[in-house]
Amino acid sequence: MPYYYFEAATSDGHIQKKILKAKDKKEADKQLRHFGLRPILIEDAHAARKKKQEHQIATRRRVKGVLRKTLIAVAAVSLVGGIATYLILLDLGRGERLDVSTLSRSGIVAQSSNIVNAGTPEEREFGREVFGLWEMSFPDTLSGIEIKHKGLMLVYVKQGKERFGEDSLRSLASTIVRAFQRRFQTASCIVLIVHESETVAEGRFQSGEVKVSVY
């Protein structure tokens, strides 16, 4: 006597999914109704098992497809980030003054107040910490902070280096670049202090050393 897979509703609305033995579908339907169940689906148990297996295979394929696309997207983002970091490291290696106009994402940071522009929550949190550190030394002189990635940060100030003094500016830039490197554990990183699209000071961490230039 064959087995049938069934789905049936109980009197209180619950759905039962089981297997029963009957000579045919008509007999299976009769058995279910005898026990107070309302049949929704009755089919050969072997066919039902095969259909379930096919559904599981199709689901796994869909999941693998989504994962594959996600991994490709992540790899693409990582590649772009890696290229950006590589270019910055080339600039670090040259030791040349970086062109701020080519690095600035937008004018909103330089033109507004209390703006922290960063790509991740961790970077934004660090930007706010730097904001507080700067304001402790020079209140109401900071316009905003922009973290391009974990190897490059731009600090926008409202006044030129004359307002801060060369020694104080050098000391603060050194403190920030050390904190930047420790937070993100990068082999090389750079912090630019910018006033009106011009770099007034620049801190670089490379080969375990911090170098600061004031222009």
Tokens of 66: 């989504």
User: What confidence score (pLDDT) does residue 182 get?
Assistant: 93
CATH architecture type of domain 97-214? 2-Layer Sandwich (3.30)
In angstroms, the CA 98 to CA 54 distance is 59
The torsion region of residue 190 among left (phi > 0), alpha (psi -120 to 50) and beta comes to beta
Single-letter residue type at 189: C
**H/E element holding 33?**
helix 25-34
What pLDDT score does 55 carry? 79
Mean per-residue pLDDT of the chain: 80
Taking the model in full, what pTM does it have? 0.53
For 36, phi then psi, to 5°, come to 80, 20
Question: What does the pLDDT read at residue 88?
Answer: 47
Q: What is the pLDDT of residue 125?
A: 92
Cα separation, 101 vs 214, in Å, equals 18
Coil vs helix vs strand at 20: strand
Task: Report whether pLDDT(163) > 70.
Answer: yes
Task: Flag whether pLDDT at 92 surpasses 80.
Answer: no
Return the bridge partners of 204, or none.
Answer: 190, 211
What does the pLDDT read at residue 90? Answer: 45
CB-based burial of residue 66 (10 Å sphere; 0-12 exposed, 13-18 middle, 19+ buried)? exposed
Give how far the C-alpha of residue 98 lies from the chain's centroid of Cα atoms, to the nearest Å. 27
Q: Each residue of 9-34: pLDDT tens digit?
A: 888 888 888 888 898 999 999 999 99
Type of residue numbered 111: Q
Bridge partner residues of 145 (DSSP): 116, 155
User: Cα(70)–Cα(99) distance, rounded to whole angstroms?
Assistant: 35
| pLDDT of 206 above 70 | yes
What is the predicted pLDDT for the residue at 75?
A: 46
Strands of the chain (E only): list them. 3-9, 15-21, 38-44, 115-118, 142-149, 152-157, 188-195, 198-206, 209-214
Domain boundaries along the sequence of the chain = 3-51, 97-214
CA distance 117 to 144: 8
Residue at 34: amino acid letter: H
Contact (Cβ atoms closer than 8 angstroms) between residue 155 and residue 121? no
Q: pLDDT tens digit string along 165-187?
A: 899 999 999 999 999 999 999 88
pLDDT for residue 35 is more than 50: yes
